[in-house]
Structure 1
Amino acid sequence: MPFVQITMLEGRTIEQKHDLIRRLTDATAESLGGDPGRIRVVIYEVSADSWGIGGEPVSSRRPIP
């Protein structure tokens, strides 16, 4: 049973996250030839204050959508 984990900055809509889950499930099933009903997808959302790039929090590098 494949288990897909995605970590991304928070701020996407529920619809975007549901679409991502569906597309990742479909792509994984197609690539591995598995049953989509056995594929698990988890999305971890991180705040821009808790995500750092180059020693700086993302919140200080770009505007938050």
Structure 2
Amino acid sequence: MPTYHIEMMEGRTLEQKKQLVEAITRVSVEVLGGSPESVDILITDVKRENWATGGVLWSEKK
């Protein structure tokens, strides 16, 4: 089964992360089969100062 690597800017609550991993796991099992225990999800929180889009750090955006 799959291993998902999710990188997102920090700031999400624990409850939001729990809902996210539950939803990804549910859909993975529905689409791919297998058991929920076989789905791995790694979440990496990235500080806004370490993420840039279009040459601009997110910490500099308003």
Same fold per superposition (TM over 0.5)? yes
- Deviation >3 Å, runs of 4+: none
Quote how far apart the aligned CAs of 1:20 are. Answer: 0.5
Mapped partners of 1:6, 1:28: distance in 2: 15
1:27 match: 27
Quote the RMSD (CA, aligned, Å).
0.9
Give the SS at the match of 1:11.
coil
Counterpart residue identity of residue 12, structure 2: R
1:1-65 correspondence to structure 2 within 5 Å:
1-62=1-62
**Structure 1 portions without partners, runs of 5+:** none
Question: Normalising to structure 1: TM-score of the pair?
Answer: 0.88
Give the SS at the match of 1:34.
coil
